[in-house]
Structure 1
Amino acid sequence: MKANKNYKVSDSVEFVQEHPTQYLVSKKPVSLHDMSTFEKMEIVKRGVSKRYLESFKKQAELDYDQLAAALSVTRATLINKKGEDTFNDHVSERIISLADLYAFGYDVFGRPERFNQWMFTPNQAIGKQPPFDIIDNYYGREAIRNIIGRIAYGVYS
């Protein structure tokens, strides 16, 4: 009788270089916005790589100073990592939270360029501040997520 072969099957979440607001889950790109909380937790525990951050930075059209401000970390924290080096879980959580917000915005606005521009346009709903100015903490990101949700449903925001 022939012995059964054991195959390695990976259920892990993989990064997609081309779309920084997406990941490969079982060989299929999935928007961060559509991932479960547990899938996002797994990504945070593994740590986000510098390569992923660079890809996100490019798509979001942000420089290191803007990214450091949005993540509430120093510029050096972001710059000192190389290639596949990963950030600690606290920084990784902030990166995933920010990328998740951008993924939602890209889904609603249809084009990354539109959303990126909107993030720096003063908004009446938040006291004529650009949305980017308040995303440096959880509550600011949630306020922006709520505004994007209202836009998705056609509510003036």
Structure 2
Amino acid sequence: MNKKRSIRLDSEDEFKFDTVQAVLDFYRIGFEKRIEISKKLISKRQLVQFKKVSGIDYDCLANIIGITVRMIHKMKDENLFSRRISDNFASLVQLYSFGYYEFENPVLFNKWMKIGSPELEYISPLSNCDTIVGREEVRENIIQLRREQKNKSIS
């Protein structure tokens, strides 16, 4: 087992993902701070906090960040994930932060991520989030939906 995973963190030193506002703040804090958080490594506690806010189940979340559900369940709250997994997690949180910001309705965004929309033939955007390219495509879909929404309100 990687020694970094057994490092204990003082919970006060962690960025919390326990509310919609905290997830939104991740989008607003800036690029350098997001990198710093990712490099510090993400704890199981942070992953569980985000899971509760986003409504993503463990199977889906594990698949997206590249681990097994068993690995999540075996970890203690203070255990840290590897840098690769922390990067994948931070990228997913960044996407959700952006989505919450653009949709202006976190509940609707969480639902959209799970079931999609007519424009996406009701294919779950989450199903594309297991790769960087897929997350970028979802981000582009968010931008396109927002653009279409603005155009409809102008007409």
* TM-score (norm. length: structure 2): 0.77
Q: In 2, distance between residues paired with 1:125 and 1:146? A: 13
Q: Who is 1:89 aligned against?
A: 83
Q: How does 1:20-39 map to 2 (within 5 A)?
A: 22=22, 31-39=25-33
Query: Structure 1: which 5+ runs fail to align?
Result: 1-12, 24-29
Distance 2:119 2:66 in 1: 23
Correspondence for 2:4: none
**CA offsets, 1:20-79, max 9 Å, x none?**
6737xxxxxx62222332212211111111111111000111221111122222112222
Single out whichever of 138-147 and 105-114 deviates more from structure 2.
105-114
1:104 aligns with 2:88: no
Q: Identify, as 1 or 2, the structure richer in helix.
A: 2
The secondary structure found in structure 2 opposite 1:39 is helix
CA displacement 1:78-128 (0-9 Å, x = unmatched): 222211211111110111111111111111222221111101224455565
Please, what is the CA RMSD of the aligned residues?
2.3
Asked whether 1:131 is paired with 2:119, we answer no
Identity of aligned residues (%): 30
Question: How far apart, in 1, do the equivalents of 2:123 and 2:110 lie?
Answer: 15
Q: Normalized per residue, which structure has more strand?
A: 1
Kindly tell me: are residues 120 and 18 of structure 1, through their superposed partners in 2, closer, same or farther at Cα, counting changes over 3 Å? closer
Whether 2:145 is the aligned partner of 1:151: answer yes
Larger Rg: 1
Q: Which runs of 4+ in 1 moved over 6 A?
A: none
Q: Does 1:67 align with 2:61?
A: yes
Choose between structure 1 and 2 for higher RCO, CA contacts under 8 A separated by at least 6 residues: 2
Q: How many residues align?
A: 138
TM-superposed CA distance for 1:137, in Å, is: 0.5
Distance 1:145 1:21 in 2: 19
User: Contact 2:18 / 2:50 at 8 angstroms: preserved in 1?
Assistant: no
Taking the aligned partners of 1:17 and 1:121, their CA distance within structure 2 comes to 23
